[in-house]
Structure 1
Amino acid sequence: MAELIFQKNNIGLGKRKEAIARVFLIPGEGNLIINKVSGNKYLQYNDTYLGMIWAPLKALNLEKQFDIVTLVQGGGLTGQAQSIQLGVARQLCRMDEQNRPILKPYGFLTRDSRIKERKKYGLRKARKAPQYSKR
């Protein structure tokens, strides 16, 4: 049974900044597991992050019908939570194409492509210059 769940065609892939999340939706009672740890514990009991992850399921009134199991790597907690949200929304659309017009206006299917700007030579960061001294 577990082999069927974790197949490539059942993955909702979400990305944000440096974070990459592979999301699996399993019929269940509304549990969240991130990297084999309880979702509440992993996200440090932050209601903002938890609400962000459950938002696509709440928009479809499915929050108590699926368990979310994710493998996430890279980035910080905010980027990881946003990447999981995108993965959940994409997986819901893959399961039923009728979900797409409902999720699209909320912006759940839009990949936020903003990433960190690269550091330039002669500068301390991407745009921060060393202090200028006139004399």
Structure 2
Amino acid sequence: MGTRVLVAKPGLDGHDRGAKIVARTLRDAGFEVIYTGIRQRIEDIVSIALQEDVKLVGLSILSGAHVGLTTRVVDALRAADAGEIAVVVGGTIPQTDVQKLLDVGAAAVFPTGTSLDTLVRDVRALTKNEDDL
């Protein structure tokens, strides 16, 4: 079994083609992927992440609310004593917001146009066990 990751669509954004492509790409790269579907509440994303014992939560956000939603997910994971779960963000993210997302706790940011090879490489690096070294 591969490393478990969660791909989530927080908030009201109803477009999930990109999230499904990311989920499939990660699965094909050997990850065990849990996909939440669209319009998920922060509390539900965190609950699923804990129940499924994931190493990484990938947020797919196209709505423009990426900084607020990412902050809320990172804070909720920390509040649940799960701050070690990496949070990455992808979607329609202006370059000017990449550092803001990193500052609020995102481990990586994947704006529109990021190659799938880069995504897989970075997710592998973020989820690598010390035992794997």
- For normalisation by structure 1, the TM-score amounts to 0.29
Structure with more of its chain in helix, by fraction: 2
**Higher-RCO chain (CA-CA 8 Å, sequence separation at least 6):** 1
Between structure 1 and structure 2, the one with the greater Rg is: 1
